[in-house]
Amino acid sequence: MLFYSKKVMDHFINPRNVGEIKDADAVGEVGNPVCGDMMIFYIKVKNNRIEDVKFKTFGCGAAIAVSSMISEMVLGKTLEEVMKITNDDVAESLGGLPANKMHCSNLGADALHKAVENYYKHKKNDQE
Ligand code: FES
């Protein structure tokens, strides 16, 4: 039996920012090597801040809660602030995760960091 915090259950049952941004400025996708689950983040950036964020998670309840939580955490943040958020920060904001579900928290920050990295890459290519 797993014991999820109230916050995890809330974000799992009512995930925020689920979906896709068709004209996203960048996309970040990661897979979890432990279980094979997947997470994709779409971001819109304005004045160096996350203006909009959406995600699709093909994974367990903890992974969905992690995606939802981090999507709320990064909205309005600068790209530098987003890059500083760690997987542990997300798990902590959720009131912790059961030990055998900590690996599920590894996707959230990684996927968002990838989206930001891809954003920088595209921007650089545009300038070249
Ligand atoms: Fe795969 Fe949770 S079991 S992310």
**Is residue 128 in a domain?**
no
- Domain enclosing residue 57, as ranges: 6-120
Q: How many CB atoms lie within 10 A of CB 3?
A: 9
CATH code of the domain containing 14: 3.90.1010.10
**Is residue 36 in a domain?**
yes
**Is residue 1 in a domain?**
no
Pairing relation of β-strands 49-58 and 26-31? unpaired
Residue nearest to atom 4 of ligand 1 (CA): 104
**All residues at 6 or more sequence positions from 64 whose CB lies less than 8 Å from its CB, including other chains:** 11, 12, 15, 57
Q: Ligand 1, residues 30, 32, 97, 105: which to mutate, most atoms within 8 A of Cβ? A: 32
Structurally, how many domains does the chain consist of? 1
**Is residue 126 in a domain?**
no
**Is residue 125 in a domain?**
no
**Is residue 14 in a domain?**
yes
Q: Do residues 16 and 68 lie in contact, with contact meaning Cβ atoms separated by under 8 Å?
A: yes
pTM here is 0.92
Ligand 1 nearest atom to the CA of residue 34, by list position: 1
* Beta bridge mates, 58: 38
d(CA 30, CA 49): 22
3-state SS, residue 59: coil
d(CA 66, CA 64): 5
Catalytic residues: 35, 104
Ligand 1 cavity residues, CB under 6 Å? 32, 35, 37, 59-60, 62-63, 104
Instruction: Read off the pLDDT of residues 73-125 as tens digits, 9 standing for 90 and up.
Output: 999 999 999 999 998 999 999 999 988 888 888 889 999 999 999 999 988 88
pLDDT level of residue 2 (50, 70, 90 thresholds): low
Instruction: Read off the pLDDT of residues 22-40 as tens digits, 9 standing for 90 and up.
Output: 999 999 999 988 889 999 9
